[in-house]
Structure 1
Amino acid sequence: MTDRVPAVLMRGGGSKGLFIRVNDLPVDPQARDALILRMMGSPDATGHQLDGVGGGRPESSRVALISESLRPDCDICYRFGQVLPQADHIDYSGCCLDLAAAAGLYALQAGLASAAHDKTTVAIWQENLQQRLLVHVPGVEAMPAGGEGTIRIAGVPRSGPAIDVDLLAGPTAPPCLATDQPSDLLHLDDGSRVRASLVVLGRPTIFVKASDFGLNGDEPPEGWHHTTLQLLDQVVRAGAAHMGLAGAPSSDRTAHPAIVVVGPAADVIDEEGNTHPPESMHLLGRCILAARLQPDFPADCAIALAVAAAIPGTVVEELIGQPMNRISLGHAGGVMPLEAHVRLDDGIWIADRTRITRTARRLMSGHVFP
């Protein structure tokens, strides 16, 4: 086993990950993953990852495997891996669009893409999704050495330059909806039914109206009653069955759909105490993932919400009042702009392009000693 591996630690959006060149890792997949696990400090029964560079939380225990692209329309290939602190394996089933923003910046700083003066578009082949991303990185003048900039995102204490991430449809673009229907009736354990929209683009996400559960959508974390969370868990299990995920392996992160409760626009007080008025957003959203209420709004679930807002008949679109390609989402961390352009192709909704805006910066570079 090698005694050191070149790597770069980067933050992208609300995530932090170790960026490693594929050429610096073993070719054999088992040997490669064993080495990465040692670098990250997993598995660790305590969950702290004290003997590695992992951050002890899912959001800060991620890896990005980078290689030069063999595709003529892409600069690099980016493969995302989730390294849970206590797990003995790496989950490659999902995708992190937060780290995709960092991947565009990494490509420029590593000389894998040619930098333009004002803004550079880095074309990335996202191996997990088998789709193409365009990451629009500000030029040198807009990207100060310290990473400060003009926008703030939830969970990150400093501002940064805006990096737009576009997810593009390819020749075999996946459908947006799990059942090709804008909404479905889910049957719960007590015989009641809940109307939900099941979006599979981004992360598989179940959208329900807050009013169906006696909520407004602006409740703080302590405002969620245990009975309500149990009921929403039933919705997740019913939605997973509709999505064909109920029998998926437990190691597959996409086997666990997120559920998003949406409500009408209202005042949002972010983590810094700033108030965002209703007119600054189109709706509110609260995300629950793996039975945990998220402190902010995951990027892949935000993409799913943008898609739902653009499709007539979803619970999201009905709440807004009309299909919209560009919306602002109010959530616990503030307000997030989103964009999705969809079309109906032979009865199936396809997203030609979705966009989310993040920030990113390099935290450190050097060698990791496994």
Structure 2
Amino acid sequence: MTQLRIKASFIRGGTSKGVFFHQKDLPDDINERNKIFLRILGSPDYNARQLDGLGGGISSLSKIVVVALSDEKDIDLDYTFGQVAVDSPIVDYIGNCGNLTSAVGPFAVDEGLLSVPDGEVSLRLRNTNTGKVIISHFRVEEGRAVVSGTYKLAGVQGTGYPIKLDFMSPAGSVSKEILPSTKALDFIEVEEIGTVEISLVDVSTACVFVSASSLNLDLFVNTHNLSEKIAFMDRLEDIRKIGAIKMGLSPKSLSIPKLIIIDSPKTYSLPDGTDIKKTDINLTSLALSMGKPHKAIPLTAAMCIATAAKIPGTIPNRLINLSRSNKNMVNIGHPSGIFFCEPNFKNGHLDYISVIRTQRRLMKGYAFY
């Protein structure tokens, strides 16, 4: 059978990569769309390599984004995110990808989806997965989004032009409540572990937080080979699934909620030998995504961590060190560096969260399926 083709762009957004499509180029039927996405990304691949596609064998490199002009008043663009499972024939649409959100506005401008003047641009994006609005601020020169710059993003080689994202009213993005169980702390029973304290928080995405100490872990000391400990990883998945049920979510989803292991600030070394000093961070974290330890941190999870750290009684709140001068900014240590996140509250309620990312288009052309 002759291969078919579709217009596509391969783009890095933040610490993720994904294949971007125009909505108008795709079939309306979601099952037909999913077949295209799976084939292009190379899933399912039971060797977890996605050798026959554009995926990279891990969750942060196995993603798609569909973009269209919005017909909603005061919204410029609608976009849908799909998390493509590496070793299963599944495309998950439950949550958003904050990292790839950084590339939505530049993609639309570069593709001529909408016309904007040169200079600093602010576009209002609606994520169809969650219904939430994100304001994307970036610079345009000669009709194209600026890519080159001096901003260094942890986990990405080189530098780029900073893109500021304001995630508006991000609480309850998945479950509709910032504390889905109504409590800052829950207690669950886990096979082979016993009673475990967890915090269930939903800001930009739904997260199940557990302290490293409750699992007898020391982040970045005895967690480097965590994925090789199959039985222990199964118990972590049990914690995530129990948390999902308590949040009113399906335990069958592979991507939502995310399990986040939290520890107090500590000094540790990155893979390139750079030292992260505990005095430069408020917390340390290790995220599990699609059943695997994440090599950086999902942006949506980082925003959830930063907000949870401001909610009295949660695990991140109990472990956070706020001795640094900027009390609004939360600096989160993760396996690739530091994530800077600033939750903004208004009259006691979470108004928006600001983050900085970079993005770069890697390829434009046709993807075959």
CA distance in 2 between counterparts of 1:63 and 1:139 reads 24
Residue 339 in structure 1 maps to residue 342 in structure 2 = yes
Q: What does residue 138 of structure 1 align with? A: 139
307 and 170 in structure 1: CA distance in 2 versus 1, 3 angstrom threshold: closer
Aligned-pair CA distance for 1:10: 0.6
Q: What does residue 208 of structure 1 align with? A: 210
23 and 108 in structure 1: CA distance in 2 versus 1, 3 angstrom threshold: same
CA distance in 1 between counterparts of 2:139 and 2:329 reads 21
Residue 366 in structure 1 maps to residue 368 in structure 2 = no
Q: CA contact under 8 A between 2:265 and 2:320: conserved in structure 1?
A: no
113 and 207 in structure 1: CA distance in 2 versus 1, 3 angstrom threshold: same
Q: What does residue 199 of structure 1 align with? A: 201
Aligned-pair CA distance for 1:235: 3.1
Residue 269 in structure 1 maps to residue 259 in structure 2 = no
CA distance in 2 between counterparts of 1:172 and 1:96 reads 15
Return 5+ residue gaps in structure 1 as ranges. none
Q: What does residue 295 of structure 1 align with? A: 295
Return 5+ residue gaps in structure 2 as ranges. none
CA distance in 1 between counterparts of 2:316 and 2:196 reads 14
Q: CA contact under 8 A between 1:197 and 1:208: conserved in structure 2?
A: yes
Aligned-pair CA distance for 1:96: 0.9
Q: Which moved more, 1:335-344 or 1:307-316?
A: 335-344
CA distance in 2 between counterparts of 1:343 and 1:228 reads 41
Q: TM-score, normalised by structure 2?
A: 0.85
Aligned-pair CA distance for 1:76: 0.9
Q: CA contact under 8 A between 2:77 and 2:126: conserved in structure 1?
A: yes
Aligned-pair identity (%): 29
Residue 222 in structure 1 maps to residue 221 in structure 2 = no
Q: What does residue 128 of structure 2 align with? A: 127
Q: What does residue 26 of structure 1 align with? A: 27
CA distance in 1 between counterparts of 2:260 and 2:171 reads 29
Q: Which moved more, 1:3-12 or 1:259-268?
A: 259-268
Q: Which moved more, 1:50-59 or 1:153-162?
A: 50-59
* Residue identity opposite 2:206 in structure 1: P
Q: Secondary structure at the match of 1:106?
A: helix
CA distance in 2 between counterparts of 1:292 and 1:36 reads 21
Q: What does residue 357 of structure 1 align with? A: 356
92 and 288 in structure 1: CA distance in 2 versus 1, 3 angstrom threshold: closer
CA distance in 1 between counterparts of 2:137 and 2:191 reads 46
Q: Secondary structure at the match of 2:319?
A: helix
Aligned-pair CA distance for 1:128: 0.4
CA distance in 1 between counterparts of 2:235 and 2:350 reads 31
CA distance in 2 between counterparts of 1:149 and 1:311 reads 35
Q: Secondary structure at the match of 2:89?
A: coil
Alignment coverage as a number of residue pairs = 360
Q: Which moved more, 1:39-48 or 1:54-63?
A: 39-48
* Residue identity opposite 1:4 in structure 2: R
Moved over 6 A (4+): 170-173
286 and 42 in structure 1: CA distance in 2 versus 1, 3 angstrom threshold: closer
Q: What does residue 320 of structure 2 align with? A: 320
Q: What does residue 238 of structure 1 align with? A: 242
CA distance in 1 between counterparts of 2:30 and 2:242 reads 35
* Residue identity opposite 1:244 in structure 2: G
